[in-house]
Amino acid sequence: MDIVYAAEKPSIAKVLSEHVQRDIRPGDIQVHANPDETGSFFIRWRFDRYIMSPDGAVEASNREYPD
């Protein structure tokens, strides 16, 4: 299991890049902490939204969260 240790945009962009199989720069995403789960993040990239869980898994999300 891969675990994301650093909650920094470069680390999160790398994990999302691997998930969508495209190069994503840290400046291309918006990241917000997920208040429902410690270590989880909401990620916005273009018009898409994702949730990254504490173990580094990324999945698409339809949930609303702050811009």
Residues with Cβ within 8 Å of 36's Cβ and at least 6 positions away in sequence, in order, are none
Task: Look at residue 2 and tell me whether its pLDDT is greater than 90.
Answer: no
Is residue 36 assigned to a domain?
Answer: yes
Is residue 1 assigned to a domain?
Answer: no
pTM to 2 decimal places: 0.81
Task: Look at residue 38 and tell me whether its pLDDT is greater than 90.
Answer: no
Task: Look at residue 31 and tell me whether its pLDDT is greater than 70.
Answer: yes
* 8 A C-beta contact, residue 62 and residue 49: yes
Range of the domain at 46: 9-60
Is residue 67 assigned to a domain?
Answer: no
* 8 A C-beta contact, residue 7 and residue 15: no
Is residue 66 assigned to a domain?
Answer: no
Number of domains forming the structure of the chain: 1
Is residue 23 assigned to a domain?
Answer: yes
pLDDT of residue 1: 47
